[in-house]
Amino acid sequence: MVKNFDEFQQASKENIDLAVKSVGNVSKSAQAIAAELADYSKKSFEEGTALIEKLFGVKSLEKAIEVQSEYAKAAYEGFVAETTKLGEMYSALAKETYKPFENLMAKAK
């Protein structure tokens, strides 16, 4: 009975250690994702402000349309790049979260 209790206690300790490691990985990844989103938001706001300043300085409708078109193209490309980067970060988060449990799953089989 003592042997079973010791095994149970050891398994519980290992599971707690795995959970703590997983939470640590999630926390680091979530902070990186939040920082990336904050940087993108700041950059996007600055680019929008620069657009408005440019638009106030144009003298013709054609130039205003040209400036707006350039901004729209750059904003779209930036958005696509950012969502790709965030997708990769979320994928890495999922992999890092699962990694501590790989051995546990292998033992269970």
The pLDDT tens digits of the residues spanning 22-67 come to 777 788 888 999 999 999 999 999 999 999 999 999 999 999 999 9
Pick the closest to residue 35 from 87, 100, 86 (CA basis). 86
Six-digit token string for 58: 């144009």
With a pLDDT cut of 90, the percent of the chain lying above it is 56
pTM of the model: 0.73
CB 106 within 8 A of CB 42: no
Write down the number of H helices and E strands in the chain: 3, 0
